[in-house]
Amino acid sequence: MSERPAAPTKAIWPYLATISSASVMLLAFFIPSIQDQWDRYHSRKVIGQYVALGDEFMEEERFDMAEKAYAKAFELTLQTRLEIEMKRLKARVHRMSMLIEWGAKPPEDLEDVDFQLLLHLQKGPEQAKERSYTLNSYASFLAGSKKLKEAEAALQEALRLVPDSAMLHLNLGNLQDQAGRKDEALKSYLKALELDPKSLNTHYNLGLLYVELGKNQEARQAFEAALKLAPEDIETKKQLRQVIRNMGENPP
According to the 3-state scheme, what is the secondary structure of 70-127? Answer: HHHHHHHCCCCCHHHHHHHHHHHHHHHHHCCCCCCCCCCCCCHHHHHHHHHHCCCHHH
User: How big is the CA angle at 212 (ends 211 and 214), to the nearest 5 degrees?
Assistant: 65
Give CA separation, 29 vs 9, 22, 25, 26, 117, in Å.
Answer: 12, 11, 6, 5, 44
pLDDT at 205: 95
| pTM for the model | 0.68
CA distance 171 to 148: 12
Averaged pLDDT for residues 110-114: 86
Task: Determine which of 64-68, 197-201, 203-207, 215-219 has the lowest per-residue pLDDT on average.
Answer: 64-68
Task: At 105, give phi and psi (nearest 5°).
Answer: -60, 130
**More confident position, 233 or 241:** 241
Averaged pLDDT for residues 48-64: 86
Per-residue pLDDT band for 171 (boundaries 50, 70, 90) equals very high
Q: 147 pLDDT exceeds 90?
A: yes
CA distance 244 to 250: 7
Q: 34 pLDDT exceeds 50?
A: no
Q: Are 12 and 27 in contact (CB under 8 A)?
A: yes
State the chain's mean pLDDT as an integer: 80
Q: 116 pLDDT exceeds 90?
A: no
